[in-house]
Amino acid sequence: MRALLPPILMFTNLFAFPGLVDRIPVPPPITPDMLDGMKELPGGLNALPAIPSAIHSNQKSDLGKRLFFDTRLSLDGRTSCATCHNPDKAFTDGLPRSTGFQGAVLRRNAPTILNAAYNQAQFWDGRATSLDEQCKTPLLSPTEMNMIDEHHLIDRLNRIPGYLSDFQSVFAGGPSLDNVASAIAAFEQTLITADSPFDRYMKGDKNALSPSEKRGLILFFSKGACSECHKGVNFTDGEYHNLGDIPGSGAPIDLGRFEVTHQNSDIRAFKTPGLRNVARTAPYMHDGAFATLEEVIEFYDRGGDDTHNKSTLIYKLNLTAGDKSDLLAFLKSLNGSLLQIQNPQQYPDEQR
């Protein structure tokens, strides 16, 4: 049997015979009709799975919801979880970089917590591996809610009789940092938007996406190479990448994932955000550098900026104006129905 040439030599050898190159068949482009017939999409793109019954609203998540909106969980009584994760703004705050304790501007943009239950890790640098762990950080951070320590938090809650009753019912005990975080996480796990046009399309309704949205989906996993990082049911690989974006003037120094791992390869690498409801969560990037999705698409089309340690997955795309329009249309098709979450009436403080 004749030995096969290594692939690179086979490819190189073709250029010695230009006529042979001309006769190599080029796969036809994927059309919307072909897309409709595909049983699986590259990158594991798919509808969100059914919501487990265990994370539907219950007494624990109801307690978490009340805590989520309560400003008394901050030292000065002015900030709640909902300050940075506002239901009216798709659970973001709409700011380039969030404001923290007594109005201080923080380093990073507040990501949405919609569908965060599907994340492998939380925060832009992935320093929290669960929603429970994520909930603890802002409560005690001096730059965010600044409750100083668990003692101050529990002392505050112990002065609110309604909470004492709820914690006893849910946890068979009084408030603790772990229980507070567990309850808030239980509420956040209910924040699922699984009814976007894309979800309906993947579940069999081939008319749920318009022709432009279908062309955008094809671009997403082909020429646009978006699904190299934005993959799976939540449109994220859960990994960390340096996109080659140059920090804006006056932006604070932020080394990203490096601050967690201390690996040089993680300098200025940030977690791939999920893209569900992305049209509602402007501005974009870890520092809110881009005000619109159009700006984001232009950034990726030019291959990012020329910076050190940029991911090899970021390169010039040469998208046409039509490509960009279709890609934008597809991204908008990832919007699910807005959840109608109301701020619950808060328990009164203990009467003295």
Residue 8 has pLDDT above 50, yes or no: no
Structural domains of the chain, with CATH? 32-48+195-332 (1.10.760.10), 57-188 (1.10.760.10)
CA–CA distance, 318 with 308 (Å, rounded to integer): 22
228-256 CB burial, b ≥16 within 10 A, e <16: bbbbbbbbbbbbbbbbbbeeeeeeeebeb
Closest CA to 325 of 200, 224, 185: 224
Q: Which of 133, 144, 150, 239 is catalytic?
A: 144
pLDDT tens sequence across 146-176: 999 999 999 999 999 999 999 999 999 999 9
Query: Given this model, what pLDDT does residue 306 score?
Result: 83
Torsion, Cα 19 20 21 25, to 10 degrees, reads: 120
Known catalytic residue: 144?
Answer: yes
Kindly state the average pLDDT of the residues 101-107. Answer: 93
Residue 26 has pLDDT above 70, yes or no: no
Query: Given this model, what pLDDT does residue 29 score?
Result: 86
pLDDT tens sequence across 290-307: 999 999 999 999 999 888
Cα-based angle 131, 117, 186 (whole degrees, multiple of 5): 60
